[in-house]
Amino acid sequence: MTIAKPDFQFEWALRRKGVWPVAGLDEAGRGPLAGPVAAAAVILDPDHIPEGLDDSKKLSAARRERLFESILARAAAVSVALASPSEIDRLNIRAASLLAMRRALAALALAPAHALIDGNVLPPDLPCPATTIVKGDARCVSIAAASIVAKVTRDRLMENLDREWPAYGFARHAGYPTAFHRDALKKNGPSPFHRLSFAPVRAALTRS
């Protein structure tokens, strides 16, 4: 059975209507107990689309890294934006993710005429019209590219945090609630980069 891969059909449909450039937009890091949520916006060059783009979750870390570099080298424009743990605690993770998406889209060096966004919720106050696509990272190459950029960028940030706070093992799990991470929380309490509004972190804060 042939497994469908993301393609350029959504972008071409808009371009045929004279709507261009088109940005793909996705986020990474909604589920972790620590670190920011990251969003990326990517405007691909139709003549230089990297081969092998797919939902970042379907790719190995090594493959994501190679595609990340290829996207940066070939795309017409790329931007990444974050929402911090404190913003996540203040707003909630859903609203913080939408905030990071809005920041990423606004930060593109090339102003998009339209955005294609993974999911079914439009961030408010976007700088251009937009369309949501459910499972867009598996259906639309621009969103797939954004998913890779957001994931790799966030993973690198968590690796940097691991050097400052090695007790939590951030480089191993990127802040996700693994058994190792939960045990480290129980032993050490939260770091300044943990999301205090998440239940396991609140529980560790109470015990510490």
57 within some domain: yes
Res. 27 pLDDT band, cuts 50 70 90 = very high
Give the model confidence (pLDDT) of 158-206 as tens digits. 999 999 999 999 999 999 999 999 999 999 999 999 999 999 999 988 7
At 207 the pLDDT is 66
The count of other CB atoms within 10 Å of the CB of residue 185 is 24
Residue 134 falls within a domain, yes or no? yes
Give a yes or no: residue 59 inside a domain.
yes
Question: In this structure, is residue 35 part of a structural domain?
Answer: yes
**Residue at 1 is within a domain:** no
Domain range for 95 is: 9-167
Question: Quick one: tokens of 123?
Answer: 């961030």
Q: Does residue 172 form part of some domain?
A: no
**What does the chain come to in residues?**
208
Note the pLDDT of residue 206: 78
Closest CA to 132 of 111, 114, 147: 114
Its pTM stands at: 0.95
Tokens of 84: 């911090």
Assign 112 a pLDDT band (cuts: 50, 70, 90).
Answer: very high
Check residue 3 and give its pLDDT: 60
Number of structural domains, the chain? 1
Contact between 120 and 135 (Cβ < 8 Å): no
For residue 63, what is the domain's CATH number? 3.30.420.10
pLDDT digits (tens, 9 = 90+) for 39-92: 999 999 999 999 999 999 999 999 999 999 999 999 999 999 999 999 999 999
Would you say residue 193 lies in a domain? no
